[in-house]
Structure 1
Amino acid sequence: MSAPAGGHVAVFVLPDYGHVNPTFEITRHLVERGHRVTYVLTEDYRPAVAAAGAGLVAYDTARRRLGAGHVDADRISELGLDILADTTARVLPAARAGFTGADRPDLILYEFESFVAARILAREWGCPTLQFFPYLASNDQYSLHAEIFDPDSPAVHHGVEEILRVLATVEPDPAAQWAMMAPFDERNLALLPQALQPRGETFDERFTFVGHCLPQRPPAAAWEPPGPDVSVALVSMGTESNDRDSVFRLCADAFSDKDWHVVMTLGRGKTLGADLAAVNIEAHEWLPHLAVLPHAAVLVCHGGMGSILEALYFGRPVVVVPHTPEHVVNGRRLAELGVGRMLPSGDVDPGTLRAVVDELAGDPATMIRVGRLSEQIRAGGGAARAADVVEHLLRARP
């Protein structure tokens, strides 16, 4: 049975590439099947949204970046207040103006950082919701937030109070307000393999683990590997964590003997200092990792789930130099599975980093474990299966 043509899906997602990018392949599948998709995002995402075949309801953001220094849970809570302020002052008004009358969506697809807007508007519009996780998922048995936040922290208490204050404007019942704050929905998409999920065996039929949402056709890139017998290390600190020049310098020092060829992606507008230039180090503002990873032996990164999944998809081990508490959780999980290592950013030196890279890339047992996880990632169904779940919910609507 085919899904009804013309279903309209609204996507609410934090304006960060690590959150947005995994949705684009799902969108392409939905558009190819005859559905409309409209993102609620900042204007700078318009070209990428259009390339996926979707529309855009745009808003401006005042959200701050993570910054180069140490990021702890309280700092994340502060940034959460920025997101909430964006939600009330910008996202909700833009969405209400952009989706009117017959143009309102038939389904809202959202992630937790956008739950306030998504769940409020779903109540107003009477449409179903589907939550997606571009990072580790949460259920009744496992909570990523509990891993990261101290429930007794004043910053956490303040954040919760502010969210409840906003929810109270649409829901006067305190019990119902708390229900609206649940970290997961009745239907959820986890954009990772279940084997990577802590307590994965406790996740029931409300969760669909699709393995990955990487494009079937990687973006074209003018990059070629240095040679068939050259070991390549890819180094990236993501889009929110790439202000950490000291980590790029650390990596350059770690590979200064030129036994490895190092490819660094630094972030838009950033360059590698002339004092770090070397014949075995190439630095790019941006380069598709999917072009490099098939030829790489290891990924050194901040620990974002998108970067991790890209590496594991191609059977490459990962060294995590974390920037946030979430990255620590991800790095710890990789170590538990024997497919990577985590090196605390404040304590690592070039010699230690290099030793860990050499050990991982040269260990047959590690490569066997990484290969098995890669098979599970590829077998998850990917974006096509995620689109199937969306269509199932579209069929079920009144």
Structure 2
Amino acid sequence: MSRHVAFFIFPDYGHVNPTFEVARLLVERGHRVTYVLSPDYGPAVEAVGASLLTFPATRRRLSAAHVDADQITELGLDILGYTTGEVLPAARAGFAADPPDLIVYEFESFVSARILAREWGSATLQFFPYLASNEQWSLHAEIFDPDSPAVHHGVEEILRVLAEVEPDPAAQWAMMAPQDTRNLVLLPRALQPKGETFDERYTFVGHCLPATPPAVTWSPPSPDVAVALVSMGTESNEREHVFHMCAEAFADGAWHVVMTLGRGKRLAAGLSAPSVETHEWLPHLAVLPHAAVLVCHGGMGSILEALYFGRPVVVVPHTPEHLVNGRRLQELGIGRVLPPDELDSASLRAAVDALAHDPQTLRRVAAMQAALRSGGGAALAADVVEQALPATARG
């Protein structure tokens, strides 16, 4: 029976990209899928057969300097502002004649998703494109200081918004829970801190890569030189000094370095070399099969792509979440994290050399690769979405 599924997602590629293969499968199975996203995602949404309900995303980007927890809280308030001012009214109007049977959302979109689910009587399913949270382990607890004035202000603002639809304070706090009654985790349980404590409310499926390889291909210039892929993601690529440091670290030509700098970005004059290849954009999935290691900001999407191909990861964190991710990789022995106070060209090069040439590291990475690939992927994720659909369709 065909149903209507809506994806409410924070407009960031690391959040959105892992859902596309799931959406494609849902459409293939006969369901209608609508994304609530900014207009720039239109071509990708159309490519999987879904529809797009747009709003003008006006949030600010992260700064180029290292971002602390209070700055993340400020960004969260920006998200809350455009949620209440843009997402909620756009979704109410756009879905007025055809409300979704199920809303799939991540925590950054919980305000609009949970409010509208109450209004429409829609079922909900929360997904985690990053480390999940339960009563025993919380990403938010790892990142935020509960005594911070910025955190207190952020919580007060969310409660103020929720009070407009729910007068009971206890119910307002329940609406702020970091998880739902049904949760889809797009990474392997083995990567999740305290993964054994996550109960039947959570389904870990691994990373949901697309079924077809990227249209853009890449091959190394020589089979005799190891390849390192360097990418700082779409939110952290303003950190030009990191790219410069990477160029300096590999200037001796012992590695072939592929850098994705971001749209409109160029490496400063004098830093390019035959062994350093730069692109504004290049799919990770085209390079990683040929690479030995990934150097990245620590976004979970980039990490999972590397692990899918059995590549260790050096994390140069930009935000507290990236630092948590990097520490988890280091704890598991499948990566290294280099915080700002430990980062220079020598430490970066040493970390890459050590990971790429240590047999024990590579064995552990291979085990995580197997766990990720055997998790069920997008097919299992689509099954979970279908199971969350209500027993009867609207109308």
TM-score tier after normalising by the smaller chain length: over 0.9
2:54 counterpart (55, 58, 66): 58
Query: What CA deviation, in whole Å up to 9, does each residue of 1:332-381 have, x standing for no partner?
Result: 00001000000112431111111111111000000000000000000001
Match of 1:343 in 2: 338
Asked if 1:367 is matched to 2:390, the reply is no
User: Whole-Å Cα distance in 2 between the matches of residues 85 and 356 of structure 1?
Assistant: 41
How far has the Cα of 1:47 moved from its partner? 1.0
How far has the Cα of 1:395 moved from its partner? 5.4
Match of 2:79 in 1: 83
How far has the Cα of 1:226 moved from its partner? 1.6
Please say which of residues 227-236 and 75-84 is displaced more in the overlay: 227-236
* 1:241-252 aligned within 5 A: 241-252=236-247
User: Whole-Å Cα distance in 1 between the matches of residues 139 and 147 of structure 2?
Assistant: 16
Match of 2:16 in 1: 20
Match of 1:211 in 2: 206
Match of 1:125 in 2: 120
User: Whole-Å Cα distance in 2 between the matches of residues 33 and 66 of structure 1?
Assistant: 38
Structure 1 letter corresponding to 2:176: M
Match of 1:142 in 2: 137
* 1:69-80 aligned within 5 A: 69-80=65-76
Q: Is the 2:5–2:104 contact (alpha carbons within 8 Å) kept by the matching residues of 1?
A: yes
Query: What CA deviation, in whole Å up to 9, does each residue of 1:44-96 have, x standing for no partner?
Result: 11111111211111001221101101200000000000000001000000000
2:224 counterpart (207, 229, 242): 229
Q: Secondary structure at the match of 2:7?
A: strand
Asked if 1:47 is matched to 2:43, the reply is yes
User: Whole-Å Cα distance in 2 between the matches of residues 62 and 391 of structure 1?
Assistant: 33
User: Whole-Å Cα distance in 2 between the matches of residues 78 and 330 of structure 1?
Assistant: 21
User: Whole-Å Cα distance in 1 between the matches of residues 233 and 172 of structure 2?
Assistant: 34
1:209/1:87 CA distance change after superposition, 3 Å: same
What TM-score, normalized to structure 1? 0.97
How far has the Cα of 1:227 moved from its partner? 2.1
What TM-score, normalized to structure 2? 0.98
How far has the Cα of 1:264 moved from its partner? 0.4
User: Whole-Å Cα distance in 2 between the matches of residues 138 and 323 of structure 1?
Assistant: 21
Q: Is the 1:30–1:37 contact (alpha carbons within 8 Å) kept by the matching residues of 2?
A: yes
Q: Is the 1:128–1:397 contact (alpha carbons within 8 Å) kept by the matching residues of 2?
A: no
Query: What CA deviation, in whole Å up to 9, does each residue of 1:210-252 have, x standing for no partner?
Result: 0111112221114222222220000000000000000000100
2:174 counterpart (157, 166, 179): 179
Query: What CA deviation, in whole Å up to 9, does each residue of 1:103-128 have, x standing for no partner?
Result: 11010000000000000000000010
Show structure 2 runs of 5+ residues with no match: none
User: Whole-Å Cα distance in 1 between the matches of residues 392 and 335 of structure 2?
Assistant: 43
Asked if 1:258 is matched to 2:253, the reply is yes
How far has the Cα of 1:168 moved from its partner? 0.3
User: Whole-Å Cα distance in 2 between the matches of residues 396 and 164 of structure 1?
Assistant: 32
Q: Is the 1:8–1:37 contact (alpha carbons within 8 Å) kept by the matching residues of 2?
A: yes
How far has the Cα of 1:397 moved from its partner? 4.7
Q: Secondary structure at the match of 2:257?
A: strand
Q: Secondary structure at the match of 2:167?
A: coil
1:397/1:212 CA distance change after superposition, 3 Å: farther
Q: Secondary structure at the match of 1:226?
A: coil
Q: Which consecutive aligned stretches of 4+ in structure 1 deviate over 3 angstroms post-superposition?
A: 395-398
Match of 2:288 in 1: 293
Match of 1:154 in 2: 149
User: Whole-Å Cα distance in 1 between the matches of residues 390 and 38 of structure 2?
Assistant: 30
Q: Secondary structure at the match of 1:323?
A: coil
Structure 2 letter corresponding to 1:69: A
Q: Is the 2:298–2:326 contact (alpha carbons within 8 Å) kept by the matching residues of 1?
A: yes
Q: Secondary structure at the match of 1:270?
A: coil
Asked if 1:303 is matched to 2:307, the reply is no
How far has the Cα of 1:396 moved from its partner? 3.3
1:185/1:89 CA distance change after superposition, 3 Å: same
Q: Secondary structure at the match of 1:276?
A: coil
User: Whole-Å Cα distance in 2 between the matches of residues 322 and 363 of structure 1?
Assistant: 23
Match of 1:354 in 2: 349
Would you say how many aligned residue pairs link Structure 1 and Structure 2? 393
Show structure 1 runs of 5+ residues with no match: none
